[in-house]
Amino acid sequence: MIRSIILVTIGVMITGVLSVIACIIGFMQNGENRTHLLARFWAKIMLYLSNTKVEVIGGDNVLTNDTQVFMANHQSNFDIFIVLAFVPGQFRWIAKKELFRIPIFGPAMRRCGYIEIDRQHHEKALKSLDEAAQKIREGKSVMTFPEGTRSKDGTVKAFKHGVFYLAIRSGVPITPITIVGSGDIMPKRSLRVNPGKVTMIIDKPIPVEGYKEETREALIEKVRTVIVKNYEEQRRKTKKETPLMLKKNLIVGFIMMVGFIFTTYPTPAAAAPNYQEGLWEIVTTMDIPGMPKAMQRPHKFTTCMTKQNAVPQQQQQKDQQCKITDQRIKGNTVEWTITCKDGTVSTGTITYSKSTFKGSYKTTTRQGGRKMVINANMTGKYLGPCKK
């Protein structure tokens, strides 16, 4: 959360500075186009600072030499940055009037030529749409979120009729845009900012010829069907990729966890297995189903072993995040169970042969809300006396 607070604070500062610059640039010749380019620069900065990666599919479907009405689904405030940064060409936003009341930021939006819409008053809303139609006649495309607000659960909500009235009246095609994953970056009504990847799919423009205000329901259904179809297909694709991605991410977390997962407590002297005291090299190798062998590289560390310690450890953790909850010794074989505060549980077995040992363990943890099981082999060999 501290990271999110820092990002939001920096973001507000950057937004304030660039808004002042936008207000100044807006008075220059061709001011709207210049301020839109500044807004694109602002969006790219915000995505970079938040470590948000964006994959664009279908970018060549944008009519770069013609006007259009862009319509995108809406999950997060980050949708604004995503389309500003990666939809090519000039366009003007249709935005709710509340945004124009924000000091400095609101005037900057007006200098960009963005269009204020009052969603509470039908007549004022129609007037705003007429203004947007004038922008289109001047050769400027328009960007809208037809849902009217962000979706809290990620599903694509019903579309408002107003923007379709605009498209039909202007006679320009509608370019559907599907954004997938932005709700995970910054959920609705949350200031938490999470790093991650977003996919933006730009579909082929849909002509509005043949549609009238009385038949716009059919046009709404056609556009929404395209956006929903792309959204659901990309979500299914992401779900198929997620397990492998989690396994890749888990490698780093696992290696870090090795540093404290083998924290041990004194073993009764009478039950100590037969092994040499001194410096040992420990090698662990993970075996994750579905993970390429090339990625399952061994992890090595050294530790000073004594007769009081039967379970190898890399370092003693002061906060005792993990502790041995069960330990059994049968001759030269040691079995253990380690439980961590985050719910991670590891069970293992090793057998000593004086200057070497072999064994394995299984770690059960959760990554991204999913249960993950890691099997690993462990070997150890005596190197010599402990370094003082």
Q: Please return the burial class of 145, using the count of CB atoms within 10 Å of its CB with bins 0-12, 13-18 and 19+.
A: buried
At 253-303, the pLDDT tens digits run: 555 455 444 544 444 444 568 888 888 888 888 765 555 555 556 778 888
**DSSP letter assigned to residue 89:** S
Note whether 213 and 323 are same-domain residues: no
b/e per residue 117-127 (b: at least 16 CB within 10 A): beeeeeeebee
pLDDT grade, residue 357 (50/70/90)?
Answer: very high
Closest CA to 24 of 81, 104, 142, 115: 104
Residues 214 and 309 in one domain: no
| Full-model pTM | 0.60
Classify residue 251: in a domain, yes or no: no
Average pLDDT, the chain: 80
- Among the candidates 181, 213, 244, a domain finishes at 244
Task: Tell whether the model's pLDDT for residue 387 goes beyond 80.
Answer: no
Q: Which domain holds residue 224?
A: 2-244
> So what's the pLDDT on residue 254?
52
DSSP string, 33-71: HHHHHHHHHHHHHHHHHTTEEEEEE-GGGS-TTS--EEE
- Co-location of 187 and 112 in the same domain: yes
* Structure tokens belonging to residue 41: 């620069």
Structure tokens of 201?
A: 């799919």
Residues 6 and 67 in one domain: yes
pLDDT digits 0-9 by tens, 21-50:
888 887 887 778 888 899 999 999 999 988
Which among 43-57, 284-298, 306-320, 358-372 has the top mean pLDDT? 43-57
Q: What is the pLDDT of residues 221-254, one digit of tens each?
A: 999 999 999 999 998 887 665 555 555 555 545 5
Cα 366-186-247 angle, rounded to 5 deg: 30
Q: What SS3 class is residue 60?
A: helix
- Please tell me whether residues 286 and 222 are part of one structural domain: no
User: Domain check: are 217 and 267 in the same one?
Assistant: no
Torsion of CA 77, 125, 134, 158, to 10 degrees: 50
Q: Which of 244, 273, 305 is the last residue of a domain?
A: 244
**Do the Cβ atoms of 121 and 96 come closer than 8 Å?**
no
Per residue in 107-124, pLDDT (tens digit) is 888 888 887 777 677 777
Residue 319: its pLDDT value, please?
Answer: 43
Q: Across the strands, what pairs with 95?
A: 116
Please tell me what DSSP assigns to residue 357.
Answer: E
State the distance between the two ends of the chain, measured CA to CA, in whole angstroms.
41
Are 8 and 147 within one domain?
yes
Evaluate whether residue 295 is within a structural domain: yes
- Write down which residue in 217, 244, 271 finishes a domain: 244
Structural domain includes residue 252: no
